[in-house]
Amino acid sequence: MSQRNIVLGVTGSIAAYKAADLASRLTQSDFSVYTVMTQSATKLVSPATFRALTGHPVAVEMFELSNPYSIEHVSLADLADVLVIAPATANTMAKLAHGIADDLLSCTALATRAPLVVAPAMHTGMWEHPATQDNAATLRRRGVRLVGPAVGRLASGGRGAGRMAPLEDIVDAVTATLGRDGGLAGRRVLVTAGGTREFIDPVRFLGNPSSGKMGYALAAAARDRGAEVTLISGPTALRRPAGIRVVEVVAADEMLGAVERELPGHDVLLMAAAVADFAAAKPATRKAKKEGAALQLELRRTKDILEAVRDVEVKVKVGFAAETDDLEKNARAKLAKKGLDFVVANPVGGTNSAFGSDENQAVFVDAEGTTPVPRLPKRALADLILDRVVGRLENA
Ligand code: CTP
C-alpha cells in the first residue's frame, strides 16, 4: 500500500479532533496523507497538528502564495488516490452533492476523479433533516462511500445519529476503496472464522481457543483486493469488519447450514474456522447439577463441512489444518479427502500455537508440493494466501 496518496479533508465538526488520530493511523499504514482543512476546522484543531502527524504541508487557503502547490486544488485533486472527508459537516455534504466549489476542499472534491469516502458528523437534527438525507442519497448514488454516522452521545449532550464513525471503519473504507480494482475485483469470497461452541447444557459448552483473527484477516484482505466478502463467524471478541457481510453462528451444525446456504455463487471458499468435530449427543435442557463424583458425556460426530460442500462449484477451495504432530502428512491427507486446492497447515499446541496469537506460522500444502512460510502477522499471511488464490483464479 505504500506510496498511495490520501487527501484528507477535515471540516468544522467538533469531531475534527478525531481526524488527527485518523491522519496518524493512515500515515502509520504507509499512506502519504495530505490534509486540506476548511477555515472552520482550523478553529477546532491546528493545521500544525496534521503537519506534524503526516509530515506533509497542510492546505487551507485557495491562493496562498507560500504554499508548495501551484494551483492547489488541481494538484491535490490529481495527487489523490482517494479523497477522504472526515468529519464531513452537513454544509460540506451539501456542497459535494450540488457541485459547489467555494473553498479549497470543495474545489478539490469537484476537480478530482479519485473515489470519495465521506464520514458525516453532525447534530442529529441536521443529519436527519430531509435536505441532508437527500444529499447523502445523491452522494451514494454517485458511488461515494459514506461511512456512518454512528449513533451515540453527541457534543450537544443528547443521544442520536451523528457521531463520526469509528476510525477503524473509516480506515477499512479507505483500504477497501483503494482495492476495488484489485486482483479479486468482481469475485465473491466466502470465509469462515472462529471456533464453534457445542452446548452440553444451557450454560456450558465445548469449545476451542480459536480467536477468529486469521479468518477476519483473510476477510479484510479479500475485501481490500476488491472482493465481495461473506464472513461466516463463530463467536469471537473481534470487531465486525466494515464492508463485509457477516453471518453469525454458534454451533458446528449451524455453521454447516450457513455454509451450505451461502456458498453457491461464491468463487472462493476459505475455511479458516475451527469447527468442532464432536457435539453433545443429548444436550441437557436444564443446567446439569454437580451430582456424583464424575460426569459421563456422550458425544456425536458433527458433519464435516468441507466434505459436505465438496460438490458445490467453487473455483478455489482452501482448508486449514491445525496439527500438533505430523503437520505435512496430515495436511496432505486433508487436501485429498476434502477436495481442496491447497491447505494452510498450522502447528498448534505448545509455545508455537497460532491460537489467539496475532501471528501465525504456516506451511502451504498443495498437489505440487510444500511451501513453508515464516512466522508472520496474520494479515501478512492472509495476503500470501490470497496471492495464491489469485494465481489459481487466473489459471482456472
Ligand atoms: N472442517 C470442516 N468441518 C468440520 C471440521 C473441520 O469443514 N466439522 C474444516 C476446517 O475448517 C479446516 C479443515 O476442515 O479447514 C481441517 O480442520 P482440522 O480441525 O484441522 O481437521 P479435521 O478435519 O477436523 O480432522 P482431525 O480433527 O482429525 O485432524
Half-sphere exposure of 89 (CA within 13 A, CB side): 16
Any ligand 1 atom below 6 A from CB of 304? yes
Residue 208 known to be catalytic: yes
Q: What burial class does residue 293 get, using C-beta atoms within 10 Å of its C-beta: 0-12 exposed, 13-18 middle, 19+ buried? A: exposed
Distance between CA atoms of residues 94 and 109, nearest Å? 12
Report pLDDT for 267: 98
Distance between CA atoms of residues 77 and 75, nearest Å? 5
120 alpha carbon – ligand 1 mean position (Å): 44
Helix, strand and coil in the chain, % to nearest 5: 35, 25, 40
The answer to whether 355 and 209 have CB atoms below 8 angstroms apart is yes
Give this prediction's pTM. Answer: 0.84
Q: What burial class does residue 344 get, using C-beta atoms within 10 Å of its C-beta: 0-12 exposed, 13-18 middle, 19+ buried? A: buried
387 alpha carbon – ligand 1 mean position (Å): 23
274 alpha carbon – ligand 1 mean position (Å): 7
pLDDT under 50: residue ranges of the chain = 1-2, 65
Which atom of ligand 1 is the closest one to the Cα of 322? Answer: 20
Half-sphere exposure of 337 (CA within 13 A, CB side): 11
Report pLDDT for 387: 95
Report pLDDT for 235: 97
- Best residue for ligand 1 mutational test, from 196, 233, 304 (most atoms within 8 Å of Cβ): 304
Report pLDDT for 1: 42
Domains detected in the chain: 5-178 (3.40.50.1950), 188-395 (3.40.50.10300)
